[in-house]
Amino acid sequence: MQLTGPEILRRMQNKENPDIVIKPFDARCLGSNSYDLHLADTLRVYKHTIPKGMRPAIEYSGRPEMHSMRDWFELKYGNPVLGDVDIESWYYRDYLNHPEKYDIRNPRYLIDPTNPKHHETIDIKIPETGLILSPDVGYLGATVEYTETRNLFPYIDGKSSVGRNFILNHHTAGRGDDGFCGEWTLEIRVLYPTVVYPYMRIGQIYYEEFNGQRMPYNENPHSHYNGQHGPTAAAVVPVDKFLADAQQKQK
């Protein structure tokens, strides 16, 4: 059973042991059966997935007509001794001549979920003027809001206006856990080059009741993300060898 907006508020008002904590909280963000969440001002991308010379995002000028494909490429100073003094378009020209080097479908940019080195990230600050995201890049974002949930099942989803701009705010992991405490990491993808702004409304959090004995996330020694702050990279995905052993025994 999903909680209504007034019930979310009621569950927050138990001063000693509230079922729901949302910080910061503003009643203007409380909906019929959800609470609006906002995008924090830092994104992270996996360093391994960005081709050398390419920008993972572009600071928005406020004028789309002022931007072009060249903006995705870093400046590179030429060598005057060789007569090359172009400081703007070397990487872009290289892209035109060797597009496969900059194509994220190239296996050189693969992610190995079991390799912690592939989870090393670089930070991107979202300026107040906005940041243009690329359809070719996956971004880790975070909610401004810190939440705690007890005795309930929390989950997040996109707002309809965000979805209708083809911004996906969680690629797969929109479900939380009873007992989770922390900011929410967002797996953001866009369909077109799309501008995002710090503190824009990026999604909604919902709460549902559940049946059964509690197994709180914050008391589970195997939980990876409790207390997370800011965009949090993936934990190493385990390969459970015991399953292979069990299958061998069945043969």
100 given a catalytic annotation:
no
Helix, strand or coil, per DSSP, at residue 176: coil
Burial class of residue 219 (count of CB atoms within 10 Å of its CB; 0-12, 13-18, 19+): exposed
- In the chain, % helix, strand, coil (3-state, to 5) comes to 25, 25, 50
d(CA 207, CA 112): 33
Query: Phi then psi for 11, rounded to 5 degrees?
Result: -70, -20
Q: Which two tokens stand for residue 248?
A: 């061998």
The pTM of the whole model exceeds 0.95: no
Q: Are 141 and 186 in contact (CB under 8 A)?
A: yes
Q: How many CA atoms lie within 13 A of 208 on its CB side?
A: 10
Q: Which two tokens stand for residue 122?
A: 């670089």
Q: Are 132 and 60 in contact (CB under 8 A)?
A: yes
Q: Which residues pair with 157 in a beta bridge?
A: 204
Cβ-count burial 44-79 (b if 16+ within 10 Å, e if not): bbbebbbbebbbbbbebeeeeeeeeeeebbeebeee
Q: Which two tokens stand for residue 132?
A: 């243009």
Per DSSP, helices labelled H in 2-120 are 5-12, 90-97
Q: Which of these CATH numbers, 2.30.30.30, 3.40.50.1010, 2.70.40.10, 3.40.50.300, describes 5-44+112-250?
A: 2.70.40.10
Helix, strand or coil, per DSSP, at residue 178: coil
**Active-site position among 100, 148, 187, 208:** 187
d(CA 231, CA 234): 10
User: pLDDT of the chain along its 251 residues, tens only?
Assistant: 899 999 999 999 988 889 999 999 999 999 999 999 999 999 999 999 999 999 999 999 999 999 999 999 998 765 555 555 555 678 998 999 999 999 999 999 999 999 999 999 999 999 999 999 999 999 999 999 999 999 999 999 999 999 999 999 987 777 888 999 999 999 999 999 999 999 999 999 999 998 888 877 777 776 777 777 888 888 888 888 888 877 777 76
d(CA 137, CA 158): 19
d(CA 159, CA 167): 10
pLDDT for the residue numbered 84: 55
